[in-house]
Amino acid sequence: MSRGLYIHVPFCARACPYCDFDFVVGRAPDLDGYLEGLSREADQRGEEAASGRRFATVYVGGGTPSSLGAAGLSALMRWIERRFPGAGGDEITVEVNPEHADMRLLGALAAAGVGRISMGIQTFEDAGLRELGRAHSGAEAAVGLQTARTQGLRVSSDLIVGWRGQTPTSLRDDVARAIDGGAEHVSVYALTIEERSAWPKLVRRGLRVLPDDDHQAELLVVAEEALTAAGFTHYEVASYALGGAQARHNMLYWTWQEYLGLGPSGSSARYARDGSVRRRTNARGLAAWAAGAPPEEVALGPVEAAIEGLWVGLRRLTGLEVEDFLARFPAVDRGWIERRSASQRARGNLEWAEQGRLLRVVAGRWLWHDSIGADLLG
């Protein structure tokens, strides 16, 4: 079984109004303090954090990792290699915001052994970027893609759908520009407004509107059509890849592998032989985490973990591999999967494939993944 390492970088230049991720804004990142905090946490996690070679993938996310700048990111990558020698043999990904994607920063990442970046483009339309409160322009995103290509970095591009004024035509244009720019992986997210974000206040002041579900659903389908027409495989609810360019780190989550998350709000999962899982989420907020505030810990028993695993595994639209599922969750058997999935199969949302080797969401029903999940979890 593979394991993944996630490092949360909790700094952003400014807050996007829809977002409630864990970040601090408005000051120069205290890199030394942050790296000291990571070292302290890695020491405390002991055996769990030992042996870098066991971490097949590394994902540096945020926040905005690229707000550390070229020197800061180089220092972070050196810290990872020192602390976890050999980690990321299969894939190392760093999130980069387009406004930071210049030759210096991307060159530093490539020199540090990073092979893949995830660029938060969201849209190339400046009106959309203003609506979303993003700090970059469409032109910067296009240049960033080009620069990544010159540095030999593989690129995943995030797009957001459902902002006011977005049309099927503008979304098709976003998809085309991401592909022309060389993205081999595209993640498409519906604009989701978090309660704790600034967006609800802006709605009350008449400055934003809440996204419309039908508009979003229509656009999600447009994105799927455009990407699959360009040869991308829709392999996970929100993810599309060319050829074998699936996100290997994220794949660990969807195939019930273990991961270690360091940094504020970093999440970790450890499985026992019987399939039970212990999840840990670090304290939210840089100050609380740095002060050693306790993490939140949740333990799921073998059957509870299997129920959750079924839902998570069905995010893979190519299908959940039944044999792998049963190897991870030995407390259940094929009959249990049959019974648990019966009502969704009867409704035409799930189906067996390849003589029962796979259980998967029926083509075209992926928009209902959440409600299918609610039924499976219930």
The residue ranges that bind ligand SF4 (CB under 6 A) are 12, 15-16, 19, 21, 23, 62-64, 97, 120
User: Are the C-beta atoms of 57 and 249 separated by less than 8 Å?
Assistant: yes
- Please, which residue, 145 or 314, has the CB nearer to ligand SF4? 145
Enumerate residues 6+ apart whose C-beta is below 8 A from 307: 340, 376, 377
In whole angstroms, the minimum distance from the beta carbon of 24 to ligand SF4 comes to: 10
In whole angstroms, the minimum distance from the beta carbon of 346 to ligand SF4 comes to: 40
DSSP track, 210-239: PPPHHHHHHHHHHHHHHHHHTT-EEEETTE
Cα distance between residue 216 and residue 221, in whole Å: 9
- Please, which residue, 16 or 310, has the CB nearer to ligand SF4? 16
In whole angstroms, the minimum distance from the beta carbon of 129 to ligand SF4 comes to: 11
Strand partners, 60: 7, 94
**One-letter amino acid for residue 231 of the chain:** G
Strand partners, 351: 360
User: Are the C-beta atoms of 322 and 362 separated by less than 8 Å?
Assistant: no
- Please, which residue, 163 or 311, has the CB nearer to ligand SF4? 163
- Please, which residue, 15 or 230, has the CB nearer to ligand SF4? 15
Here the tokens at position 311 are: 């839902």
In whole angstroms, the minimum distance from the beta carbon of 135 to ligand SF4 comes to: 7
- Please, which residue, 16 or 56, has the CB nearer to ligand SF4? 16
User: Are the C-beta atoms of 53 and 85 separated by less than 8 Å?
Assistant: yes
- Please, which residue, 91 or 99, has the CB nearer to ligand SF4? 99
In whole angstroms, the minimum distance from the beta carbon of 120 to ligand SF4 comes to: 6
User: Are the C-beta atoms of 19 and 198 separated by less than 8 Å?
Assistant: no
Nearest-5° Cα angle at 188, 174 to 248: 120
In whole angstroms, the minimum distance from the beta carbon of 119 to ligand SF4 comes to: 11
In whole angstroms, the minimum distance from the beta carbon of 26 to ligand SF4 comes to: 12
Cα distance between residue 113 and residue 336, in whole Å: 44
In whole angstroms, the minimum distance from the beta carbon of 15 to ligand SF4 comes to: 5
- Please, which residue, 15 or 376, has the CB nearer to ligand SF4? 15
Cα distance between residue 5 and residue 60, in whole Å: 8
- Please, which residue, 30 or 351, has the CB nearer to ligand SF4? 30
> What is the bridge-based pairing of β-strands 154-161 and 185-190?
parallel
Residue 138 CA neighbour count, 13 Å, CB half? 17
